[in-house]
Every structure is written in C-alpha cells, then in structure tokens.
C-alpha cells in the first residue's frame, strides 16, 4: 500500500496522484467546475493549476502517513484521467472513513464512479484495517446517490446538517459499505 499501489478491474485503474498529473487534473477539474461546485467544497471559480499541484503534494504526503488515500481514476484502455476517488481519515478508534468520488463531466454516465468506489473500498478493507466506508452525499445530489445505490451500498437514512459546501448547509444521505459486502471478514 505504498505510492506504487495500482488497483484495477481492467476498465479503470486507481493509483495515487503523481506530480506529473497536475496539468491533466487541472484540465479535468476546469472542464467539470459547473458540476463539481455544488457538491465539492474544493471546487470554485478561479480554480488554478497551483491548487492541483498543492492537492497532489498534500495527498502524496498523507498517503505516506496512511491517513488519506487519494486515487486518480485512470482509463485502463487509453490512460486518460477520468476523475478522483478517495478514502479519507480513518477514525483511530472506530476504523471507519469517508469514501468520495468525482468523475469529469465528459466521462460521466459510464459507471466509472461505482467501479472506482468498489476498488477503493476493497483496498481499504483488505489493506488498511477499515471496517466501514461511509458514502455521504447532500440531499439533492441524485447522481451520487445513484452511484451508491448501484454498487449495493446500504442506505442508512438522512443525517441533519451533515454536509457543508461553501456557505451552504445540507442534510445528507448516509450509505455504508462493509467488508462483508465484499465477502471479506472485518478484522481489528
Ligand atoms: C456523482 C458522479 C461521481 C457520478 O459519476 P459517474 O461515473 O457518471 O456515475 P454513473 O455513470 O454511475 O452515473 C450515475 C448517475 O448519474 C446520472 N448521469 C450520469 N451521466 C449522466 C448524463 N450524461 N446525463 C444525465 N444523467 C447522467 C444518471 O442518473 C446515472 O444513473 P443511472 O446509471 O442509473 O442512469 C459524477 O456525476 C460527479 O462527479 N458529480 C460531481 C461530484 C459529486 O457529486 N461527487 C460525489 C460527492 S458525494
């Protein structure tokens, strides 16, 4: 589970972001700002490539600390950068974390987010001692909700004021994946 990690289902590859992804990452985010801004706090008008550089630098450092696993989603066929997916900040006592994803606008509708979520969750359960991955989306984010539903995540209900994006406060849907959803046994 070092920075050379690569996960694949033969359609996509997940691997840590590399510094030389920065220009492509910036391009993918820039093209997708209208769809990202309502749901992702880091996406904003005027987003710059310096921010992509900083994101990659920080996520590589966090990967080495084993606190945040941020993956680039890559097209296994042609190497295109499709988006990002991550497992963030496993709770030190309860061993759960958040599982997030985004897919660039021109590549949406191909099931890539669900593929990425499944690969990342399995990695978390097999390699990082995770016993629960939470997928949380603002009420109203129907595309994200469809992803969670389609991969068989378990719906647990609505959490009040659970999400903040910029200055907007949202109730959020909570879904979870467990090791048993992948035929794995949770171990501490
Ligand atoms: C949510 C998101 C990751 C889905 O990625 P994706 O790879 O397109 O996912 P899917 O292909 O499985 O599509 C999911 C749903 O989005 C909708 N959708 C996707 N592409 C669409 C398109 N071009 N036109 C209309 N609806 C579309 C469909 O409802 C689809 O469900 P369906 O397969 O049952 O029809 C992507 O829309 C995204 O990045 N959104 C912005 C960031 C975000 O909200 N991230 C999640 C935060 S919790």
Which atom of ligand 1 is nearest to 138's Cα? Answer: 48
Say what the pTM is.
0.97
Domain regions of the chain by residue span: 7-182
How remote is the CA of residue 107 from the centroid of ligand 1, in Å? 9
Which tokens hold the place of 57?
Answer: 């630098």
* Contact (CB, 8 A) for 177 and 121: yes
Torsions phi, psi for 138 (to 5 deg):
-60, 145
How remote is the CA of residue 83 from the centroid of ligand 1, in Å? 12
**Fold entry, domain 7-182:** Aminopeptidase (3.40.630)
Which atom of ligand 1 is nearest to 103's Cα? Answer: 39
Instruction: Give the list of residues 6+ apart from residue 38 with CB closer than 8 angstroms, or none.
Output: 141, 165
Average pLDDT, the chain: 97
How remote is the CA of residue 130 from the centroid of ligand 1, in Å? 26
**For atom 19 of ligand 1, which residue has the closest CA?**
109
What tens-digit pLDDT sequence spans the chain (188 residues)? 799 999 999 999 999 999 999 999 999 999 999 999 999 999 999 999 999 999 999 999 999 999 999 999 999 999 999 999 999 999 999 999 999 999 999 999 999 999 999 999 999 999 999 999 999 999 999 999 999 999 999 999 999 999 999 999 999 999 999 999 999 999 88
Which atom of ligand 1 is nearest to 112's Cα? Answer: 7
Per-residue pLDDT of 46-91, as tens digits, reads 999 999 999 999 999 999 999 999 999 999 999 999 999 999 999 9
Q: Where does ligand 1 bind, in terms of residues with CB under 6 Å?
A: 35-36, 39-40, 100-103, 108-114, 137, 141, 143-144, 146-147, 150
How remote is the CA of residue 28 from the centroid of ligand 1, in Å? 15
Tell me the best of 34, 36, 71, 108 to mutate to test the pocket of ligand 1, counting ligand atoms within 8 Å of each CB and taking the most: 108
**For atom 13 of ligand 1, which residue has the closest CA?**
109
């Amino acid at each position: 589970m070092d920075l050379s990690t690569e996960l694949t289902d033969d359609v996509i590859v997940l691997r840590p972001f590399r510094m030389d992804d920065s220009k492509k990452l910036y391009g993918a985010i820039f093209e997708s700002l209208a769809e990202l801004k309502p749901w992702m706090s880091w996406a904003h008008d005027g987003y710059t490539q310096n921010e992509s550089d900083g994101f990659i630098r920080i996520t590589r450092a966090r990967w080495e600390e084993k606190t945040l696993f941020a993956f680039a989603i890559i097209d296994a066929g042609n190497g295109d950068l499709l988006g990002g997916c991550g497992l963030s900040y496993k709770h030190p006592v309860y061993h759960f974390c958040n599982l997030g994803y985004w897919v660039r606008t021109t590549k949406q509708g191909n099931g890539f987010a669900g593929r990425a979520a499944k690969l990342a969750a399995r990695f978390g359960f097999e390699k990082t001692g995770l016993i629960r991955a939470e997928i949380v989306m603002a009420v109203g984010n129907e595309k994200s909700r469809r992803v969670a539903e389609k991969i068989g995540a378990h719906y647990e209900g609505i959490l009040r004021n659970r999400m903040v994006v910029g200055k907007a406060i949202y109730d959020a849907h909570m879904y979870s994946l467990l090791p048993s959803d992948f035929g794995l046994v949770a171990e501490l």
